């Protein structure tokens, strides 16, 4: 389905919210999103062990808000990718991902969407690590862990972005299609945020950052645990190897060698835009 050509990015916005035990947050968050983006379509992908979060969404009874409940904790990244696929099917031209716990201020959504469009970006990261950014109420241990994870990811992967792990991001439709078709293979949790960066950067998609204010959650429980951290470390190694493979493929294509990828996803943004013809109008 194609969005009408006249729609502005905020009018054709789709928002994906991954949830794990967020019954106390999700309803308020959806109202807060719709207060600033009344035409947005919202997809919640919930992996909670009970139905409280799903029921909190259903109780809102809003036509453009849907919730998918999955049977096990499939990971934040896989939930986002599933939500992105649904939003693409709904015809959204601009997509945004954000957490359910109000760490990502919904009031910044219109500015993010506008900035992504004005700068011609395929991915705009709301970043906690720019000079004007702010992190509120995080304990020192959490700050140190997050900062060092980001420095490590940047050192290994080299995508010129300061914040690899904040899941408050805007995507163009072509970028979202690449994410749907290529990501979620190097881990299912928070590491998918880095996998997305590498898959888009390796294909010359346009990536930028803008400052944000990140606020520690005040309701609900953290889902971060040791297993998640271990999975992220393994995922980082896999993504590094993926990045080398993508670079090799690009080089082979550049040198005119026959394309060994068969029906694999496009190796550059240009190729992606040429192939993804269903939304030529907005590209």
Ligand X SMILES: Nc1nc2c(ncn2[C@@H]2O[C@H](COP(=O)(O)OP(=O)(O)OP(=O)(O)O)[C@@H](O)[C@H]2O)c(=O)[nH]1
Footprint on this chain of ligand X (rule: CB under 6 A): 18-20, 22, 45-47, 73-76, 79, 99-101, 103, 217, 222-224
How far is CA 58 from each of CA 14, 44, 54, 70, 71, rounded to the nearest angstrom?
Answer: 18, 10, 6, 15, 17
| Closest residue by Cα to residue 90 from 51, 48, 139, 42 | 42
Widest pairwise Cα distance in the chain: 57
Contact flags string 213-252 toward Mg ion, x per CB under 5 A: ----x-----------------------------------
Asked whether the beta carbons of 13 and 42 are under 8 A apart, the reply is: no
Contact flags string 166-205 toward Mg ion, x per CB under 5 A: ----------------------------------------
At closest approach, how far in Å is the CB of 99 from Mg ion?
5
At closest approach, how far in Å is the CB of 7 from ligand X?
27
Q: To which H or E segment does residue 127 belong?
A: strand 123-127
Residue nearest to ligand X (CB): 222
Q: Which is nearer to Mg ion, 74 or 167 (CB)?
A: 167
With b for 16 or more beta-carbon neighbours within 10 A and e for fewer, the 131-166 pattern comes to eebebeebeeeeeeebeebbeebbebbebebbbbbb
Going by their DSSP bridges, the two strands 65-69 and 134-136 should be labelled as: unpaired
Q: Fill in the DSSP letter of residue 104.
A: S
At closest approach, how far in Å is the CB of 188 from ligand X?
8
At closest approach, how far in Å is the CB of 118 from ligand X?
28
Q: Which is nearer to Mg ion, 149 or 202 (CB)?
A: 149
Site for Mg ion in 102-131 (CB under 5 A): 103
Asked whether the beta carbons of 239 and 198 are under 8 A apart, the reply is: yes
At closest approach, how far in Å is the CB of 280 from ligand X?
33
Q: Which is nearer to ligand X, 101 or 209 (CB)?
A: 101
Residue 209 interaction partner, one of ligand X, Mg ion, none, beta carbon < 5-8 Å per kind:
none
- Token pair for 131: 């000079």
Residue 79 interaction partner, one of ligand X, Mg ion, none, beta carbon < 5-8 Å per kind:
ligand X
Q: Which is nearer to ligand X, 73 or 169 (CB)?
A: 73
Q: Which is nearer to ligand X, 79 or 198 (CB)?
A: 79
Residue 20 interaction partner, one of Mg ion, ligand X, none, beta carbon < 5-8 Å per kind:
ligand X
Contact residue for Mg ion among 101, 163, 195, 249 (CB under 5 A): 101
In this structure, which long-range contacts are made by residues 260-267, counting pairs with CB atoms below 8 Å and at least 24 apart in sequence? 265/178, 265/181, 265/182, 266/178, 266/203, 267/202, 267/203
Residues in touch with Mg ion (CB under 5 A):
99, 101, 103, 217
């Amino acid at each position: 389905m194609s969005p009408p050509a006249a729609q502005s990015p905020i009018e054709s916005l789709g928002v994906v919210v991954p949830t794990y035990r967020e019954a106390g947050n999700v309803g308020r968050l959806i109202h807060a999103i719709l207060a600033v983006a009344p035409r947005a379509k919202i997809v919640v992908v919930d992996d909670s062990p009970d139905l409280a979060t799903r029921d909190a969404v259903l109780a809102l009874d809003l036509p453009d808000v849907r919730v998918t409940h999955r049977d096990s904790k499939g990971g934040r990244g896989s939930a986002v990718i599933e939500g992105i696929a649904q939003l693409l099917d709904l015809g959204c031209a601009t997509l945004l991902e954000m957490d359910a716990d109000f760490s990502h201020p919904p009031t910044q959504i219109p500015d993010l969407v506008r900035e992504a469009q004005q700068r011609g970006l395929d991915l705009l990261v709301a970043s906690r690590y720019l000079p004007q950014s702010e992190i509120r109420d995080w304990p020192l241990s959490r700050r140190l862990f997050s900062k060092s994870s980001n420095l490590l990811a940047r050192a290994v992967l080299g995508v010129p972005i300061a914040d690899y792990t904040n899941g408050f991001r805007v995507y163009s439709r072509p970028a979202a299609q690449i994410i749907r078709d290529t990501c979620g293979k190097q881990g299912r949790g928070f590491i998918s945020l880095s996998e997305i960066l590498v898959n888009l950067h390796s294909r010359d998609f346009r990536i930028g950052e803008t400052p944000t204010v990140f606020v520690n959650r005040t309701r609900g429980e953290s889902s971060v645990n040791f297993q998640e951290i271990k999975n992220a470390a393994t995922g980082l190694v896999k993504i590094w190897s993926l990045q080398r493979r993508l670079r090799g493929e690009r080089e082979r294509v550049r040198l005119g060698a026959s394309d060994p990828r068969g029906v694999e996803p496009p190796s550059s943004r240009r190729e992606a835009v040429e192939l993804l013809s269903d939304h030529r109008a907005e590209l």
